[in-house]
Amino acid sequence: SSSSSSTTPFDIYLLVLNGFAIMFAFATETIYAMFIKDSFGYGESTLSTIFAINGLFIGLFQVFFIKPVISMIGKHATLALGNVVLAIGMVGVALIRQTKPLHFAFFSAHIVGYSVADTTLASLISKYSSPATQGRDLALNQAAQACARVVSPLIAGMLYEYSKQPHAWLPVGALPFLVGAMCP
């Protein structure tokens, strides 16, 4: 019995991999300050406003909407929904430039998607963990996400510099967001 409680079920590994993937995608936003400066000419005050508005929005969403969504469609579907919204938001951030309100709506969507996925992910890891391994399994997810927080900005920065070179097939600066969108 003690040997089975020290093993981590395959389901946990899949969820931890999802945790790495969503954090990798989300941490791509570390280059967003350069992106909005290069794309729109916006500086720090606009970026601060964008982050403040989105922080307030996410707080309200977490308090009032996450539980009803999980009640309606279940934890697994909510995790999938968060992954999809995160990916769609990142594609929109990468490709939508002409309509600034639409671009910023996609930016908000990627944050909502991450928030929904991450919240549900912790709940599912707890669900699939035994009481003896729950703390370890949640810590494994946090470790995977910490690795993604290190790796993603490095890769996003390299991809951003590469994507600033003119390519007819891709808007300037879009590549890191498109790569991030593939993760979830």
Residue 24: CB atoms within 10 Å: 24
Contacts 24+ apart (CB under 8 A), 100-103: 100/40
Query: Which residue has 């808007």 as its token pair?
Result: 171
With 60 as the cut, is the pLDDT of residue 114 above it?
yes
pLDDT > 70: what percent of the chain?
Answer: 95
Q: Can you tell me whether residue 167 is helix, strand or coil? A: strand
Residue 168 — very low, low, confident or very high, per pLDDT cuts 50/70/90?
low
**What's phi and psi for 170, nearest 5 deg?**
-150, 130
Closest to 145 in 3D by CA, of 174, 184, 90: 184
Query: Is 6's pLDDT higher than 60?
Result: no
Q: Cα separation of 128 and 132, whole Å?
A: 11
pLDDT of 7 > 70? The answer is: no
Residues ≥6 apart with Cβ < 8 Å to 168? none
Give the pLDDT score at 166. 72
CA-wise closest residue to 18 among 128, 173, 157: 128
